[in-house]
Amino acid sequence: MTMSAEEKTPAVKPSRPEHVHHGPNARTFIKSLSLPFVLFLILFVLIPILFIIYYAFTDANGNFTGQAFVDFFTNTVKLNVLLISVLIGIFNTFLCLLITFPLAYLLANPKINKNYVLVMLFVMPMWINFVLRTGALRDLLTIMLGWVGSTTAEHPLLCTMIGLVVNYIPFTVLPLYSTMLKLDRSQIEAAKDLGCNPFYTFTRNIIPQAMPGLVSASMMVFMPTISSYVITDTLSEGKIMLFGNSIYLSFSYSDWNGGSFMSLIMLIIIFAVMFATRKFDRSDNGRGVGAW
């Protein structure tokens, strides 16, 4: 009995991809890659924070005490400086978002901006030294105010706010632009097609989708504003004092305990703001949910 050609040819089973199992050496190598970052955190984050906590609750002789706590909360000048710093930080954050939100929306629109160069023009000022930018702005404001017969010393708050906005606007452009690139524009077009007016389209569609970028940009402006001292010293002629100025002066006069306690207050504020905004730290898949 003769066999056909198909019967003579053995059936070839399809090959299955083999699962790659990482051995102990591979897992150890992967974990070792994080060692430089862990070492960096320990040396330059954890240990300095421990020093701050130590000096905040000790005196000049190294004895543990709560005198720095009492001195801070019974000193109306320091409390007023903290309150003014928070108010200026909120106002500066609002101004920066007000200016850059429509700008980022336009830059992220492919029909208007097809080149990343325009975005880099707003980010480039961050490449210049902070002190040089502030000094150049002071000279510019001096010339402009000189045209109307005035000086920067006569308008310390105005010059300080201009300096804060100009210096921190680049910190809001990039996070807002990155978020705007991921907007679900089909939702926006659907809202318009269904008769939603521009105000409700903006408040109930665009704002919820852009909320992660708004929170990130606010964090990058609010906290540095409170701790800033170069801008106020340079542009207000020393007439405006923020919380960063108080910390700087404490360390300048060798008040390590008082300066450390105020630095600890700054850390507490940072952690409180981060905790309050953690719900906005969502994945891209969740962005836009609940926009309607």
Name the burial class of residue 141, with classes exposed (0-12), middle (13-18) and buried (19+) by CB atoms within 10 angstroms of its CB: buried
At 285 the pLDDT is: 44
3-state secondary structure of 64: strand
**Higher-confidence position of 207 and 15:** 207
| Model pLDDT, residue 11 | 53
pLDDT of res. 13: 52
125 and 170 Cβ atoms separated by less than 8 Å: yes
Question: What is the model's pLDDT at position 89?
Answer: 94
- Residue type present at position 185: R
C-alpha distance from residue 259 to each of 60, 124, 196, 242, 244 (Å): 12, 34, 53, 14, 10
Whether 264 shows a pLDDT value over 80: the answer reads: yes
Residue 16 predicted with pLDDT over 90? no
pLDDT for position 60: 84
- Indicate the residue type of 120: M
Distance CA 259, CA 72 (A): 10
pLDDT-derived band at 283, boundaries 50, 70, 90:
very low
DSSP percent split of the chain into helix, strand, coil, nearest 5: 75, 0, 25
Average pLDDT of the chain to the nearest whole number? 83
Q: What is the pLDDT of residue 15?
A: 53
Mean pLDDT of 94-108: 91
The whole-number pLDDT of residue 29 equals 73
Burial category of 63 from C-beta neighbours within 10 Å (exposed 0-12, middle 13-18, buried 19 and up): exposed
Q: How confident is the model at residue 281 (pLDDT cuts 50, 70, 90)?
A: low
Considering the chain, what percentage of its residues have pLDDT values greater than 70? 87
Instruction: Report d(CA 159, CA 99) in Å as an integer.
Output: 18
Q: Above 60 in pLDDT, residue 145?
A: yes
> Residue 1 pLDDT > 50, yes or no?
no
pLDDT of 92 reads 95
pLDDT tens string 19-77: 555 556 777 777 777 888 889 999 998 999 999 999 999 988 889 999 999 999 999 99
Beta partners for 67?
Answer: none
**pLDDT number for residue 190:** 84
pLDDT at 14 over 80: no
Whether this prediction's pTM lies above 0.85 is answered by no
State the average pLDDT over residues 211-239.
Answer: 89
Greatest CA separation found in the chain? 116
